[in-house]
Amino acid sequence: MQELSVRHLLGIKDITPQDIQLIFETADNFKDVLNRPIKKVPSLRDITIANVFFENSTRTRLSFELAEKRLSADVINFSSSSSSVKKGETLLDTVNNILAMKVDMIVMRHSSPGAPHFLSNHIKANIVNAGDGTHEHPTQALLDSFSIRERLGDVAGKKVVIIGDILHSRVALSNIFALQKLGAEVMVCGPTTLLPKHIRQLGVKVELDVRKALAWCDVANVLRIQLERQQMKYFPSLREYTLYYGIDKKMLDSLDKEITLMHPGPINRGVELSSDAADSHHSIILNQVENGVAIRMAVLFLLAQKQ
């Protein structure tokens, strides 16, 4: 059986195109499982997985937990808001205490970029990065590319634009790495204040006009404005942002071709996307959520082989 080239999934930057294809092929099999009347397999029956979340999460946390339970793993959930972290315990001590209970894998989200990389140098358990600050969110990028492959047949040669708050987004960076490794052309679009200064060095196109970006692309992945990460005002108001960068169904229908609309969630309806666009036939947003479980099952299953 093929196996991954890495022991941990810390970021898309660290894995090969072959790893991504293996994850996709494994996810195809698990998607079949999820569509059966009995949606469970005993693949990880003797594995214990801890979900260690130092930041708020709904979709990612539920998706990982469901993936783990579908694989018959034993699951423990940790939330920093109700833990000894509030009493001053360090990250390493927290995780070592969890590992002392004989946990095999850690799924971790943390507000500090590089936190999973730091842990991987100090513990033996496999680590899956469920988002580290504004750095990477590898499983989101994998499920996004998997959803494009499912909708359009292949990712290679497709034109994908990422629109919105690129500066504060871990999804944008992971998506850029994943799409480029799979042979897609990538463009970013947003106000100059929300684009990283040296973004072109990643080999992406930059466009400031959302209408031109939509006319260019096959797929538009729209990001929300991450107000919780912003320490200052990057644009005058949400109303003005919507005026220049909001996407509605009228705009999509005016294009001379059919494009696919994506969003990693949560959607701020009426800001980056209108409700009629988010719920239109262009949108594969709920397919992304469904594919997230299959992708995370594949990642957990393949990493468990590297125990």
Tell me the CATH number for domain 8-137+289-305: 3.40.50.1370
CA R_g for the chain: 19
87 is in an annotated binding site: yes
60 is in an annotated binding site: yes
Quote the CA–CA distance of 119 and 108 in Å, as a whole number.
Answer: 10
Q: Which CATH number fits domain 138-284: 1.10.10.410, 3.10.290.20, 3.40.50.1370, 2.40.50.140?
A: 3.40.50.1370
Quote the CA–CA distance of 69 and 47 in Å, as a whole number.
Answer: 11
Quote the CA–CA distance of 5 and 8 in Å, as a whole number.
Answer: 9
151 is in an annotated binding site: no
Q: Matching CATH topology for 8-137+289-305 and 138-284?
A: yes
Low-confidence ranges of the chain (pLDDT < 70): 1, 81-87, 227-232
224 is in an annotated binding site: yes
Q: What would the pLDDT profile of 63-106 be if each residue is shown by its tens digit? A: 999 999 999 999 999 877 656 666 678 888 988 898 899 999 99
70 is in an annotated binding site: no
- Contact of 264 with 295, CB cutoff 8 Å: no
200 is in an annotated binding site: no
265 is in an annotated binding site: yes
8 is in an annotated binding site: no
- Length of the chain in terms of residues written: 307
Half-sphere exposure of 79 (CA within 13 A, CB side): 6
Q: Which two tokens stand for residue 34?
A: 């999820």
pLDDT at 264: 95
Domain range list for the chain: 8-137+289-305, 138-284
266 is in an annotated binding site: yes
Half-sphere exposure of 260 (CA within 13 A, CB side): 21
pLDDT at 245: 95
pLDDT at 238: 86
pLDDT at 89: 81
137 is in an annotated binding site: yes
pLDDT at 293: 97
pLDDT at 18: 97
